Structure 1
Amino acid sequence: MRALLKQTDFLFFWTARFVATLAVQIQAVTIGWQVYTLARETGHDEGQGAFLLGMVGLAQFIPLFFLALTAGETADRHDRKAIMTAAIGVDILCAGGLGLLAWSGHTALWPIFAIAVLFGAGRAFLSPASSAMGPMLVPRPLLPRAIAWNSLSWQSASIIGPALGGLLCAISPAVAFGASAGLFLLGGLCLLGIRQSTKPAVQPGSRWTLIKEGLVYTWRNKIVFGSISLDLFAVLLGGATALLPVFARDVLHVGAEGFGVLRAAPAVGATLVAVVLASQQIRRRAGLLMFGAVAVFGAATVVFGLSQWMWLSVAALAVLGGADMVSVYIRQTLVQLVTPDPMRGRVAAVSGLFISASNELGEFESGVAARFLGPVGAAVFGGVGALVVTGAWAKMFPELRKADRLE
């Protein structure tokens, strides 16, 4: 821990990620609540509102899908700090635009979806640059611990952000979006404090050659491909958190404040686990632990979907978050350790595309499922699906299942 604290540039990076993630969480909570509330207030029923909520995720995923590979190649060719700074600038514009719409009392949904597309484009470049830059700022022996602390940063912000976002939504969505813009600005200023060079060694070849090289490496390395594809399909199916506005308003009847608590619950469990992982690294049987964690994730999703009590729903979400933290930590560590630095941007882009598919496209899947199965049926269906995927991937990727030490 002391050795990591001596890495000043990493501390600036860590702080920037924390405040930027806090801003993302506040903005995500507010967009979801605003879209669902406007949908219900303009005459849409519960199923239609859930479908529109899922469309927000699809709007963010479309630009990610088309830009991710180009963004990864860009992160392997240009200054990664400059890319992150520019992407955060886009986030500031998005938060400002959403705040202006909320302040003016605009009730149309299409401008929110348009800004969500722009937000997704910014994230397409932010994710691979951020993932590739972190390992440049610490010595390789400190990399597993740095990954754990990066996860702790993200999860801590994910606790504070949703709860704060729910409280700010109760005051005014405009206030929530304004707070998000201010935090994005602070994150950008922290990046300016990084003095170490963050420009990778330029790789020879055309843009398409580099993109193809990254895709081939990801496909052939079964640990990398197995890890990110497991996350894709498990979270794509088990993304119950996308339906939390529906559960808060129409299933559990707990309002905006309760929505903030529900949204924070997964991060509470994840942060507790991240604290343990930051001090006690996983020594053996990493692959089996990851598969077990994904199975627990699916089971907790089923419990949440069936729950009719706020306390049980919060507990199930906390367990879900803790299990997901174990999976994320092992997956990120394995991918970072086996990927050479000149290729980290491209591999991170493919990984980011899979993660975005599981999150944003998962929101769309959850919205569509809720339209036909109802929110409870959609959550249960997703949890069972995650369990099925876990078993299938354990059989299909024996190299990943047998992965032992994270070193």
Structure 2
Amino acid sequence: MFRSLREYNYRLYAAGQVVSLTGTWMQRAAQDWLVLELSGGSPVALGYAVALQFLPTLVLTLWAGVIADRFDKRRLLVLTQTALGACGLLLGLLDVSGAAELWHVYLLCLVLGCFSAVDAPVRQSFVVEMVGPAQLTNAVALNSMTFNLARVVGPALSGGLITVIGTGWVFLLNGASSAAVVAGLLLMRTADLRRADPAAAEPGQLRAGLRYVRGRPDLIVVMVLVFCIGTFGMNFENTFAVIARNVFGRDADGYGLLITALAVGTLSGAALAARRSAGSGSRMRLMLVGAVSFGALLSLASLMPTYELFAAALVPVGIAVMTFTTSANSTVQLAVEPTMRGRVMGLYMLLFMGGKPLGGLASGWLADVLGPRSPLLLGGLLSLAGGLLAVWWLARRRREDRGLLSAGG
């Protein structure tokens, strides 16, 4: 099913990602729990932490796309992944020693966000260099399955480990896990990489990338929809932590199981996207179906009266959101010129992740004022509206194109 694994370099990368991403999800769950403990269970404090972690995306991601088009992506990833691991180790040492305070977590969230903002577009645009255009969709789907396998295992492990050994050791384990992906990058056969010619060092490269996207209505639809769902619909982790603790009275393991339930669905959604995304038309249709389904299912899940029903409702939510994100990612990557891929993916990641500060702050405020369920309900309704608007706009544009062809005939 995953033909991209025939590539030696990609096998190294994927194996390292399984270990590293498991550690990343362990840290995310532990970080949210630590913020709640240090703040006395405040959803607003958790919103601040999320906002600080994703705020650098607004400033750095577009420029990181320019860097990705100009420099060796493998070397850039070695640097960013090493730095991300160091952040985990430092937070772990502070926590284990009993010195961790809320401002420490906030500061490290900001630093972590800076390196993540650079890492994301470089990593996204590096995939095609490992596998080539023919296997890109397959590799994107495998990346999603790897990500969500870690999403299943990581929070569940984290919830249990927090109960047994505390959050500090979870941070240390995540820091150590980054060595796996760095080792895979260093062991690659660089001669086998399919590197595009680097962009020339000249002024206006960022503006050229933005002009390129502006001239592509199909890309604009995807970008707007990605922003809407990424900002308002996908604030899962901080919202789930508040719901688990403040609505259902669960401990860290209960929070971890909610993320695991979501990830069971996302694994299935990634497999569906891999099987159904052979042609550009099918990718676009699948993306729109995923967007509309996600909004409707998330709104429904927010109304579930018991912990068990809420957890069960998250499985189809996971299927829908991964159907959307995997299809959107492959649609964009396969539609752009190789020399523009880094800058376009920089804009894609900016819109996908850059709304997290707004979404994190809004979800924390809504949970505090209207109740813990409100961020999920409103996020689902906004995602549904965005998906329906995208369907309407594309259908209208198709009718107009047919009208022009008829007039010309």
TM-score, normalized by the shorter chain, greater than 0.5: yes
TM-fit CA distance, 1:401: 8.4
Report if the CA contact (8 A) 1:269-1:319 is conserved. yes
Matched, 1:303 2:300: yes
Q: Secondary structure at the match of 1:76?
A: helix
Aligned mate of 1:148, from 141, 158, 171: 141
2:240: which partner in 1? 244
2:258: which partner in 1? 262
Matched, 1:354 2:351: yes
TM-fit CA distance, 1:56: 1.0
Paired residue type of 1:89? T
Aligned partners of 2:211 and 2:140: how far apart in 1?
25
- Greater shift in the superposed pair: 167-176 or 274-283: 274-283
1:315: which partner in 2? 312
Paired residue type of 1:232? F
Report if the CA contact (8 A) 2:283-2:328 is conserved. no
Matched, 1:389 2:382: no
Aligned mate of 2:184, from 187, 190, 212: 190
Report Cα offsets for 1:181-221 as digits up to 9, x if no partner. 11111111111121125554222242x41111111112222
Aligned partners of 2:293 and 2:226: how far apart in 1?
13
Paired residue type of 2:254? G
Aligned partners of 2:104 and 2:286: how far apart in 1?
43
Aligned mate of 1:292, from 289, 294, 305: 289
Q: Secondary structure at the match of 1:375?
A: coil
Report Cα offsets for 1:47-97 as digits up to 9, x if no partner. xx1111011111012222111111111111111011111111111111011
Aligned partners of 1:125 and 1:348: how far apart in 2?
11
1:32: which partner in 2? 32
TM-fit CA distance, 1:104: 2.0
TM-fit CA distance, 1:170: 1.6
1:262–1:401 distance in 2 versus 1, CA, 3 Å = farther
What does 1:372-383 correspond to in 2, within 5 Å? 372-383=369-380
1:221: which partner in 2? 216
1:278–1:234 distance in 2 versus 1, CA, 3 Å = closer
**Root-mean-square deviation (Å):** 2.1
1:139: which partner in 2? 132
1:251–1:2 distance in 2 versus 1, CA, 3 Å = closer
Matched, 1:278 2:278: no
Aligned partners of 1:353 and 1:136: how far apart in 2?
22
- Greater shift in the superposed pair: 69-78 or 357-366: 357-366
TM-fit CA distance, 1:282: 5.2
Aligned partners of 1:294 and 1:204: how far apart in 2?
37
1:306–1:168 distance in 2 versus 1, CA, 3 Å = same
- Greater shift in the superposed pair: 278-287 or 193-202: 278-287
Aligned partners of 2:367 and 2:184: how far apart in 1?
40
Report if the CA contact (8 A) 1:96-1:178 is conserved. yes
TM-fit CA distance, 1:107: 5.1
Report if the CA contact (8 A) 1:291-1:401 is conserved. no
1:329–1:93 distance in 2 versus 1, CA, 3 Å = same
1:253: which partner in 2? 249
Aligned partners of 1:360 and 1:400: how far apart in 2?
33
TM-score when scaled to structure 2?
A: 0.90
Report if the CA contact (8 A) 1:288-1:401 is conserved. no
Aligned partners of 2:395 and 2:332: how far apart in 1?
16
1:240–1:71 distance in 2 versus 1, CA, 3 Å = closer
1:86–1:400 distance in 2 versus 1, CA, 3 Å = farther
Report Cα offsets for 1:127-177 as digits up to 9, x if no partner. 111111101111322222122112111111111112112222222101110
Aligned mate of 1:53, from 30, 43, 46: 46
TM-fit CA distance, 1:292: 2.1
Paired positions, count: 394
- Greater shift in the superposed pair: 24-33 or 295-304: 295-304
1:131–1:252 distance in 2 versus 1, CA, 3 Å = same
1:329–1:89 distance in 2 versus 1, CA, 3 Å = same
- Greater shift in the superposed pair: 68-77 or 266-275: 266-275
Report if the CA contact (8 A) 1:299-1:383 is conserved. yes
TM-fit CA distance, 1:301: 1.7
Aligned mate of 2:59, from 61, 66, 72: 66
Q: Secondary structure at the match of 1:253?
A: coil
Report Cα offsets for 1:352-375 as digits up to 9, x if no partner. 111112445422221122122121
Q: Percent identity?
A: 26
TM-fit CA distance, 1:400: 9.1
2:110: which partner in 1? 117
Matched, 1:203 2:199: yes
Aligned partners of 1:218 and 1:287: how far apart in 2?
17
TM-fit CA distance, 1:296: 1.7
- Gaps spanning 5+ residues in structure 2: where? 400-409
Matched, 1:178 2:172: yes
Runs (4 or more) in structure 1 with deviation over 3 Å come to 197-200, 276-286, 358-361, 396-402
1:365–1:239 distance in 2 versus 1, CA, 3 Å = farther
1:364: which partner in 2? 361
Aligned partners of 2:398 and 2:80: how far apart in 1?
36
Report Cα offsets for 1:305-340 as digits up to 9, x if no partner. 222212211122111111011111211111011111
- Gaps spanning 5+ residues in structure 1: where? 41-45, 403-407
Report if the CA contact (8 A) 2:55-2:354 is conserved. no
Aligned partners of 1:249 and 1:367: how far apart in 2?
14
Paired residue type of 2:185? L
